[in-house]
Amino acid sequence: MPVVVKFASALSVLAPGSITNEATMLDQRQAKMRSLSPDVLQGRQLLGNLLPNEVEALFQQWDQPRYRAAQLLHGYYAERHTNLLEISTLPRSLRQRCAETFITMPLALQAQQRASDGTIKLLFELLDGTRIESVLIPSEMASGRQRRTLCISTQAGCPLGCVFCATASLKLRRNLETAEIVGQFLAAERLCNERITNVVFMGMGEPLLNYEAVVRAIKIMTCERWQLIAPRHLTLSTAGIVPAIERLATEDVSVKLALSLHATTDELRRRLMPIARRWSLDELLSAVEGYYRVTRRAVTYEYILFDRLNDSDADFRRLLKIARRVPSKVNVIPFHPIDFTHPEGIAAQLRPTPPERMQQFVAALRSAGIPTMVRSSSGLEIAAACGQLALAMQ
């Protein structure tokens, strides 16, 4: 029960009207407490927090024409200037004013680990000392084209407590700012000197519990003027926040939806993911169907295979039924043990499904016509389990 109360609290900012005004005010206070403290900014602003129309409005206050705002943002996002004094299209005095007003680097690299398969895990420190992770994962597509996927964090820590997840043991420190979400992309491309082809909001945190900042980040990253990433290459992965999925379907943003499913019965899902105590699988799958009906974008179901827990023939049949409800793909993920978090209860019993059984499971899905990918065990030797590096550096 306390778990449900906590979720209701976190969610009320997402669904005004569904709760009392008093609760809304309380939650807004909590949400504010959980953002970056304005004291850290010392009167300056994070440039990456502002949408283009907001920069234009600010420039209007400065008696600057609209096109100057476009020049600033082009310099920042397309030309990747972090020193705004270097944006030569702006008059010198305006460059100076921008440099004094805006913070362009909201994170700094603290550590990185590189695996033999090219996976790079990046640990960033934010302006207030909070630490978050991003992971850059290379892969080769069937066409032979190289793909470089950046897994981005949306919260520092996470309040959802999924038993298989290292980030869960960090608890929620705070929500990330839009600039800190987009900043992971800009910093990763700069640090690795590579073009990122795909982005997944699948790092630390539940993106839909930091709804406003995440939607703004999607708008900035997919903005046609500089298009950091094409909308079809941007995926948001959620543990299943039903009202937020419904709301996301109505937003003027383009993003693919992935659902961390991991179980095909309410009973098991509730044991693995406490959020499932708040919404049943029926409610969740209806929201996912609704998302598909509005957006017409195929949905991805993520499914970590746990030995003798969710890998039986009966699980396969239920998963198939779910995957056939709307056009979808299944992403099968080998379990990365999290023994370093000293798990207890069901978490201590989790083991990866043996490779042979995993292959059978995947082959059965494919032969039933469900596009099925197997997430590579990228960076096992650098501990790619989300949250692990941040935990180790505590």
Q: Which residues participate in catalysis according to the annotation?
A: 133, 386
Nearer Cβ to ligand SF4 (158/285)? 158
**Using CB under 6 A as the criterion, which residues of the chain lie in contact with ligand SF4 when the complex forms?**
158, 160-162, 165, 167-168, 204-206, 239
Handedness of CA 210, 221, 249, 17 (dihedral sign): positive
Nearer Cβ to ligand SF4 (49/167)? 167
CB of 201 to ligand SF4, least distance (A): 10
Token couple for 250: 């109505």
Phi, psi of 123 (to 5 degrees): -110, 120
Nearer Cβ to ligand SF4 (70/380)? 380
Nearer Cβ to ligand SF4 (205/352)? 205
CB of 142 to ligand SF4, least distance (A): 28
Q: DSSP code of 176?
A: P
CB of 270 to ligand SF4, least distance (A): 13
The Cα-based distances of 326 to 232, 265, 288, 304 in angstroms read 18, 18, 9, 20
CB of 100 to ligand SF4, least distance (A): 37
Q: Left (φ > 0), alpha (ψ -120 to 50) or beta: where does 159 sit?
A: alpha
| b/e 186-214 (16+ beta carbons within 10 angstroms → b) | bbbbeebebebbbbbbbbbbbbbbbbebb
Nearer Cβ to ligand SF4 (150/239)? 239
Handedness of CA 172, 178, 180, 184 (dihedral sign): positive
CB of 204 to ligand SF4, least distance (A): 6
Rounded CA gap, 105 and 128, in Å? 13
Token couple for 148: 């470089």
CB of 306 to ligand SF4, least distance (A): 14
Nearer Cβ to ligand SF4 (160/281)? 160
Nearest residue to 204 (alpha-carbon basis) of 235, 181, 185: 181
Rounded CA gap, 379 and 49, in Å? 31
